[in-house]
Amino acid sequence: MGHRGGDQLFRVLFTEFSGGTRLNLEVARALREIADFFAVKGDRFRSRAYRRAAQRIESLTEDIREVHARGELRSIPGVGESIARVVEELITTGRCRLLEELRESMPGGIHELMKIEGIGPKTALLLHRKLGITTLEELETAVREGRLRTLRGFGPKVEENILKAIEIHRSAQRRFLLGQVLTTIEALERYMAGSEAVERVMIAGSVRRRKETVGDLDLLVASERHLEVVERFVSLPEVVKVVSRGTTKSTVILRSGLQVDLRVVDPESFGSALQYFTGSKEHNIKLRRIAVRRGWKLNEYGLFDRRTGERIAGETEESIYRALGLDYIEPELREDRGEIEAAAEGRLPRLVRVEEVRGDLHMHTKWSDGTGTIGEMVEAARALGLEYIAICDHSKSMAIAHGLDEARLRKQMEEIERLNRELEGFTVLSGVEVDIKRDGSLDLRDKVLKDLDFVVASVHSGFKSSKEEMTNRIVTALHNDYVRALGHPTGRLILKRPPYSVDLERVFEVAREQGVLMEINAFPNRLDLNDVNSRAAKEAGLRMSIGTDAHTPDQLRLLPLGVYVARRAWLEPKDVVNTLPVKELLRTLER
């Protein structure tokens, strides 16, 4: 691949995430800001309209400019005449007069306050008018000084929640979701591989271990021509700042704000450097202790005999683990959670692989708040090599998501049945994501749930309930005879909303008794259950289902994110029902 081709590839890959492009995301961000301002003004209708349009544009599978060029902006669901004019102005000028006017009409800082989870338009306006708060720093100070308690409804619990939300917000400014950087990784690796000076290239660090959030990227290159590698690296098309530049280490900041650290090593040290820079720190410390006990030294340059200086291993990671008397440990397991002891005793799990997952067990369509038809979801799934999908649109309580009542769900089931008669070698499972109401009852009656292939029960409200209330709510739902899986079991949104309080040990116990699966939701800002809780679920005797929670056909590509969680949780193929052929899956789902 030539240098010019690498540039073009980088630009294409770098902008991709869940089918969107950078401009799509910027337009959606502007529309959401407009929605926020209308909410402050009390215009709920226009607020919802702009928020709905933002969601649709963010999930488009093509660049918004192409839609505009064809004159089809108004064909996007939720984009009417007035919103289309706003979008057109953003595309053609990069500005929006409506947004600028709204910003000028609002007290300074209101929009910033609304970025904090739990602070809506009315609260933000109240904090400004009563206490003069316009920044997050002023809000934090007011909370710590107890001044919020002078306002009605602001007690110690609210103050505690606000402080937590501020910390989560600040953390989000410093970190990126794993799903947001995976295409960047592919682009970086392929771009650097386009240089003849590069012998091997790989991303290391926490990304390689597939942690759910990323602070920066560690790019490792094997080469004997260090200067050429560095020159190519600092010339990346998306670089906005070169922080440092050396013969073995350089650092740049990309346009997205993501920092990338390059390390160039000699080919014979690539394996040891890859192992060292992949981490984790705790994992590496234990490996070095094993080496020391044998009279050896382990670092990023290799494994050496301390007495003679002789190189024992280092060209590959496998050679290092083998020399230390360990089975090879997959990157996802390197967290010092017992993996080194298991490797020494030959009892590491055979982790589930992406290619072993046969189906996706949670997605949405145009029947509720998705953008694709059932047929389009089928086409996207088949293109990815899947054998089956479960359509799990929202139930009627989710009015904002156009949730299905019993009658509409019956009609959808009929459509799925017709589609299955036409399909060969592929199966569409009829399902629903049914809402768990506050008393633990379900949003749809059993007489329709019993006829579905796959029922996912989820909590979508009341996140601030007490631990006992939330646990009882979920446990009650798990006793329903037709629930097959608990959706996104802790309700968290990574870098935005913490998990609700729930006794997972009790939930797991009841789920095992009732034969209910725990979901690993693969959507980038959920990944729920997380790795630690998924491993606990396995140890409690539960099996897992993986679903993308896709709302567009293109988002089915997110399925590997769920598999990465499963791998970090030590899950094997037998622990994940998606690895089963469809007939065996359906037998397994019978309770």
Q: What CATH number does the domain containing 202 carry?
A: 3.30.460.10
Per-residue pLDDT, averaged over 147-167, amounts to 85
Sheet arrangement for strand 296-299: 296-299, 302-305, 311-313
pLDDT tens digit sequence for 550-559: 998 989 999 9
pLDDT band at 14 (very low <50, low <70, confident <90, very high): very low
Instruction: Count Cβ atoms below 10 Å from residue 334 Cβ, excluding itself.
Output: 23
In a domain, 119, yes or no: no
Query: CA 208: distance to chain centroid?
Result: 15
Please indicate, yes or no, whether residues 427 and 445 belong to a single structural domain of this protein: yes
Cβ within 8 Å of residue 68, ≥6 positions away: 87, 88, 91
pLDDT band at 225 (very low <50, low <70, confident <90, very high): very high
Q: Is the pLDDT of residue 568 over 80?
A: yes
pLDDT of residue 171: 67
Among 106, 122, 145, give the residue marking a domain's end.
Answer: 106
Please indicate, yes or no, whether residues 445 and 538 belong to a single structural domain of this protein: yes
Among 264, 279, 313, give the residue marking a domain's end.
Answer: 264
Please indicate, yes or no, whether residues 574 and 449 belong to a single structural domain of this protein: yes
Please indicate, yes or no, whether residues 227 and 327 belong to a single structural domain of this protein: no
Distance spanning both ends of the chain, measured CA to CA: 54
Instruction: Give the DSSP per-residue string, 404-435.
Output: B-HHHHHHHHHHHHHHHHH-SS-EEEEEEEEE
Per-residue pLDDT, averaged over 471-496, amounts to 96
Predicted model pTM: 0.83
In a domain, 526, yes or no: yes
In a domain, 143, yes or no: no
Query: Using an 8 Å Cβ cutoff, are 580 and 358 in contact?
Result: yes
In this structure, of 8-22, 356-370, 520-534, the range with the lowest mean pLDDT score is 8-22
pLDDT band at 10 (very low <50, low <70, confident <90, very high): very low
Per-residue pLDDT, averaged over 546-566, amounts to 95
In a domain, 32, yes or no: yes
Please indicate, yes or no, whether residues 223 and 278 belong to a single structural domain of this protein: no
Query: Using an 8 Å Cβ cutoff, are 432 and 405 in contact?
Result: no
Please indicate, yes or no, whether residues 279 and 363 belong to a single structural domain of this protein: no
Q: Encoding tokens for residue 484? A: 């097959």
Among 344, 376, 392, give the residue marking a domain's end.
Answer: 344
pLDDT of residue 563: 98
Please indicate, yes or no, whether residues 326 and 369 belong to a single structural domain of this protein: no
Please indicate, yes or no, whether residues 329 and 377 belong to a single structural domain of this protein: no
CA dist., res. 301 & res. 297, Å (int): 10
pLDDT of residue 235: 93
Beta strands in 331-425, from DSSP E residues, in sequence order? 359-363, 388-391
Per the structure, how many domains does the chain have? 4
pLDDT of residue 495: 85
Query: Using an 8 Å Cβ cutoff, are 221 and 201 in contact?
Result: yes
pLDDT band at 172 (very low <50, low <70, confident <90, very high): low
In a domain, 167, yes or no: no
Please indicate, yes or no, whether residues 199 and 302 belong to a single structural domain of this protein: no
pLDDT band at 269 (very low <50, low <70, confident <90, very high): very high
Largest CA distance in the chain: 79
Q: Encoding tokens for residue 145? A: 């000084």
CA dist., res. 489 & res. 362, Å (int): 14
Please indicate, yes or no, whether residues 383 and 421 belong to a single structural domain of this protein: yes
CA dist., res. 400 & res. 550, Å (int): 17
Q: Is 457 helix (H, G, I), strand (E, B) or coil?
A: strand
Per-residue pLDDT, averaged over 217-242, amounts to 94
Per-residue pLDDT, averaged over 63-86, amounts to 89
Please indicate, yes or no, whether residues 445 and 373 belong to a single structural domain of this protein: yes
Helices (H), 70-193: 81-93, 97-105, 110-113, 121-131, 136-144, 156-174, 178-193
Q: Is the pLDDT of residue 221 over 60?
A: yes
Closest CA to 180 of 222, 213, 143: 213
- Element housing 560 (H / E): helix 559-568
Query: What b/e readout covers 282-297, taking b as 16+ CB neighbours within 10 angstroms?
Result: ebbebbbebbeeeebb
Q: What CATH number does the domain containing 38 carry?
A: 1.10.150.110
Q: Is the pLDDT of residue 220 over 70?
A: yes
Please indicate, yes or no, whether residues 296 and 254 belong to a single structural domain of this protein: no
| Structural domain harbouring 385 | 354-589
Q: What CATH number does the domain containing 285 carry?
A: 3.30.210.10
Determine what percent of the chain is predicted with pLDDT higher than 90: 68
Query: What b/e readout covers 530-539, taking b as 16+ CB neighbours within 10 angstroms?
Result: bbebbbbbbe
182 burial (CB, 10 Å; 0-12 / 13-18 / 19+) is: buried
In a domain, 5, yes or no: no
Q: Is the pLDDT of residue 9 over 70?
A: no
In this structure, of 149-153, 380-384, 503-507, the range with the lowest mean pLDDT score is 149-153
CA dist., res. 382 & res. 365, Å (int): 16
Helices 467-478 and 504-514, packing angle to 10 deg: 10
pLDDT tens digit sequence for 185-198: 988 999 999 999 99
pLDDT of residue 114: 78
Q: Is the pLDDT of residue 111 over 80?
A: no
Q: Is the pLDDT of residue 252 over 70?
A: yes
pLDDT of residue 547: 98
CA dist., res. 267 & res. 197, Å (int): 11
Per-residue pLDDT, averaged over 4-14, amounts to 37
pLDDT tens digit sequence for 28-47: 889 988 998 888 788 888 99
Per-residue pLDDT, averaged over 327-351, amounts to 98
In a domain, 409, yes or no: yes
Closest CA to 313 of 329, 301, 330: 301
Angstrom distances, CA of residue 8 to CA of 2, 3, 233, 283: 10, 9, 15, 38
Query: Using an 8 Å Cβ cutoff, are 185 and 203 in contact?
Result: yes
Instruction: Count Cβ atoms below 10 Å from residue 395 Cβ, excluding itself.
Output: 29
In a domain, 169, yes or no: no
Per-residue pLDDT, averaged over 388-393, amounts to 98
Per-residue pLDDT, averaged over 48-69, amounts to 85
Determine what percent of the chain is predicted with pLDDT higher than 70: 95
Q: What is the mean pLDDT of the chain?
A: 90
For tokens 């949780």, the residue is 569
509 vs 175 pLDDT, higher one? 509
pLDDT of residue 21: 61
pLDDT of residue 131: 87
pLDDT band at 82 (very low <50, low <70, confident <90, very high): very high
pLDDT band at 467 (very low <50, low <70, confident <90, very high): very high
